[in-house]
Structure 1
């Protein structure tokens, strides 16, 4: 996984965590769910990149 990909995934994860916290604090369940979804997507991308790196 390239440094750029790792940075993008980390940024997406951080944004997701921030959305989740803001959604929780403001009692906005849609924003909270969106944040959890962003974190999930970042996690899936990280696993996918790790698998690609393994087979290189």
Structure 2
């Protein structure tokens, strides 16, 4: 399997900002995280929903 990132076309690349804030980034977000386990089968499911409210990159 090829897991490399595809190249951006010129129209999409033109939408990106020329400069971004350097790390570490601080942001505000709302998040919900859950873990569901099934004891007998040893299965687990981890999920999360994140809504970023304020970030230094984009709106």
| Alignment TM-score > 0.5, same fold | no
Q: Which structure has greater strand proportion?
A: 2
- Larger helix share, 1 or 2: 1
TM-score by length of 1: 0.29
TM-score normalised by the chain length of structure 2: 0.28
Larger radius of gyration: 2
With CA pairs under 8 Å and 6+ residues apart, which has the higher RCO, 1 or 2? 1
